[in-house]
Chains A and B, each alone.
Chain A
Amino acid sequence: MNPTSPTSPAPSRPWLAHYGDRIPRDLPPPSHPHLPALLREAASRHAAQPAFTTCMPNGMHGSLSYAQVDALSDAFAAYLRGVIGLAPGARVALQTPNTLAFPVVAFGVLKAGCVLVNTNPLYTPTEMAHQFRDSGAEALVIVDMFAHKLEGLLAQTAIRKVIVAQVPQFFPAVPRAVIRGVMRWWNRVLPPIGVDHVRLEQALDEGAAALQRDGTLLTKGLEGVGHDSLAVLQYTGGTTGTSKGAMLSHGNLLHNVDQAFAMGSSHIEPGKEVVLTALPLYHIFAFTFNLLCFYVAGSRNVLVPSPRPIQNLQRAFDNYRITWVSGVNTLFNALMNEEWFTAFPPRHLKAAVAGGAALQGAVATRWQQITGTRIAEGYGLTETSPVVCFNPIGGTLKPDSIGIPAPGTDVRLVDDDGHPVPPGTPGELAVRGPQVMQGYWQQPEETARTLREGWLHTGDVAVMDADGYFRIVDRKKDMILVSGFNVYPNEVEDAIATMDEVLEVAVIGVPDDKTGEAVRAYIVPQRDGLTEEAVRAHCKRLLADYKLPRSVVLRKELPKTPIGKILRKDLKAELGLSPAASASPQARAGARP
């Protein structure tokens, strides 16, 4: 997709030797013209099988079969096009946690030829307004729990239709009534909605009727849609902090589905898998990996609306034969602190996949001891749909490594001037491949800064070993400069995380009179009695002196993103430091300690 530019010759791909027999060296262009074609084919192949099950913390559940998802998403597409009259390419925002409404609406938007704008349900009204305005969304599907946040906000946006979904959407009548009763009268999380809206059921009824009247409604909407057409606007804070929409095309996502499959095909049996989706689907990792890939594979997808507290996952593990689970470091860690999980680990589990944040070595080792399966760590970004690198599950898994690039992907490490660094040297990771976004929505300057000569510059510092496996050293902006030496917080966090007494840890740099910056560790202890001295003594055995934490702060919890990534920038903000304040020019990628 990205033509090789004369200034950046195709780098060698030393990692191809590790593809083994099952991973194709290169992938042919996806055979489907757009995502709806892929989704329809999966639905017709697995029609009667369960596609999605939402599992509530008390075990109440509702399911949709492939045929039902197909029919309902058709109806929703028809509603968007035929009832409210959206044009192809119009943006439709979706703001729900993991519920049965999510796949129905998301697939419906794509089938209508419209653009899906995934939106975090926990956003504040200010953040919502920014995202709706920026994307120019014309319709919004929002979960009823958060619809009250729309008051006074819609007038600032182009939204002309609000459709309200429920957490127990498509559940059988009795559990649905019970859940809604508990939410309304007991938890009091269903405040009255003060804006004009329609219920999702009603929209689906109207859409189904419109489809009856005009059977060509859906084919017409997709006439001009191809690989280069925009499919999803996926917002990301990115490295600069202002939220911007990564433009992911049908081609980007189709390619990345194929690429992700290449990663796990040895452990995915079509029609047989049960995948646990605890990560939010509005996040690109779960969106592509859990939602798209496992739908195409005919799997049953168990959706958990909220994985916090982690006990919410207990009934999902109890009641379903989970074979795949995707997660982030904090989720795996939290699971392994639950007795119900460690005493009876899932027996049918085949593999776990980690992304979103660095997987700590200690967590990966314990996971293997407990479940007998390995966590394959991958690496990706919103801007790359997301998969860039992966540890091939059927091949060599390297600990502390993000693995090797996906088929058809070029990865290289560059210095500040954009020149490739010598092998074994840390450099900023740059990606080129069919999964790389088209750019940031209406942000030509940001796009030009990030996408240069066909390469996406990630802001992550990595090193490559002789086999072509990559290891993320850290975020460029998180590096700590102690007396002129680079300290990567990940390395210090990893060392501290190997202590049994430590539940979670985050490391940041703080200004220091003597050394410029000093290492500070924030620790959530596993049990009482952890002391600063013990932490330092432990680190002294593993780390050079300049990497030792100067101060240790014990806390009850650490700030995290919705998917559970620990937010170092929030810890810095608590101290009044700007997120990137510590990254002095010398501390940039490429400099060696």
Chain B
Amino acid sequence: MRKTIIASVLMALPVVSFAASEQFTIDPTHTYPHFKINHLGFSTLQGRFNRTSGKLTVDTAKKTGSVNIVIDATSVDTGFKKRDDHLRSPDFLNAAEFPEITYQSSKVKINADNSAIVNGTLTIMGTSKSVTLDVSKMHCGIHPMDPKKQKYVCGFDATAKIKRSDFGIKYGLPAIGDEMELSFEVEAVRN
């Protein structure tokens, strides 16, 4: 009898562990990194990247997790093809040579009100810098449109500020702003 109990506990351990740290795959149709940048002092140009992939883990018990995002640099979109081509050129993102922008978290702290602070490394054009994402509110639950009520989704909005010159993007400085505001709308489906 005691052996059976021990065996049952041992068999349950991986399940408990899985439940504690759940893995998610980013939903590219609901995940878009946006950016804002000052345009010659006149206005604030906004754009986004149309293709993003990646993984999340969420450990609700320990109030932590991880974020791994890969952004397709060639998918930059400001609503004007000629400008987008320029943004893909070596003047800015050099997307042919560096097709991926990545963000890899190193520490995630989920607060009691479901806001979070994510410390991690942003890599653009081969240059990596520490960037902190400020997550306003994280929400996880069954997707209301799923007829089987099985699709479990986690989502959040995050913001960060970077200086493009830190990543070697110096074209047009100082006329075109150095500081960029990044915002991420992220949704991920549990594996």
Q: Do the two chains bind?
A: no
